[in-house]
Amino acid sequence: MKKQIRLLGVDDAPFSFDDKVVRVIGVVMRGGEYVEGVLRRQVTIDGTDATGTCIEMIESTRHRKQLKSFILDGVSLGGFNIVDIEKIFSRTDLPVITLTRDLPDFKQIEFALKQHFKDWENRLVIMTRGQLHQVKTKHNPIYVKCAGINIDEAKEIIKLSTIRGVIPEPIRLAHLIASGITRGESYGKA
């Protein structure tokens, strides 16, 4: 696999419980090295528009033709606004990789969804669909899901786009930008 493949990484901004919408930042990079573009959208907090917003970002960017993969931090944007990675792949034909540092606690998630959403079952189905792979790194393991790509290719993309730590640069940068523009200075980890 080429080291310079184009990746679009996405993360959401921090938000408070008063907010209705939250910014979503996308970063287009060649591998983990060179930033080619920055995108900004918004999604409804706890809404159902995250999947559509991801599809629209992919389809409308000027970098569309060069993109080889879409990388997401976790499986939701803006609280419980679940991202349907299978749907993104089937609509755009762009392979999708999601990753998290922590093993999701699906019992706790199910409990929270039941408390807050009439359509909790649908959200849970999307969230738990597909295999969750534990991937070893030099540091702690990460948890990876993918659509339209096998786990070995996904691992390769994660590896070639990670410079320090365990988070690929496109989503690490998306996190820095999203938190920086919201709070005045970026903080923490994607």
Size of the site for its own copies (CB under 8 A): 25
CA gap 164, 120 in Å, rounded: 37
By the 8 A CB rule, do 96 and 85 touch? yes
Q: How far is the CB of 56 from its own copies (least distance, A)?
A: 10
1 counts as binding its own copies under rule CB under 8 A:
no
Write out the DSSP string of 84-144: -HHHHHHHH---EEEEESS---HHHHHHHHHHH-TTHHHHHHHHH-SPPEEE--SSS-EEE
Decide whether 65 or 164 has the Cβ nearer to its own copies: 164
For residue 41, give both structure tokens: 């959208």
Decide whether 61 or 81 has the Cβ nearer to its own copies: 61
Q: How many residues does the chain have?
A: 190
Residue span binding its own copies (CB under 8 A) among the ranges 1-9, 90-98, 100-108, 177-185: 177-185
Q: How far is the CB of 101 from its own copies (least distance, A)?
A: 19
Interaction residues for its own copies, span 138-167 (CB under 8 A) = 163-164
Q: How far is the CB of 145 from its own copies (least distance, A)?
A: 26
Q: How far is the CB of 177 from its own copies (least distance, A)?
A: 5
Q: How far is the CB of 66 from its own copies (least distance, A)?
A: 14
User: Which residues bind to its own copies, rule: CB under 8 A?
Assistant: 23, 25, 33-35, 37-41, 60-62, 163-164, 173, 176-177, 179-182, 184-186
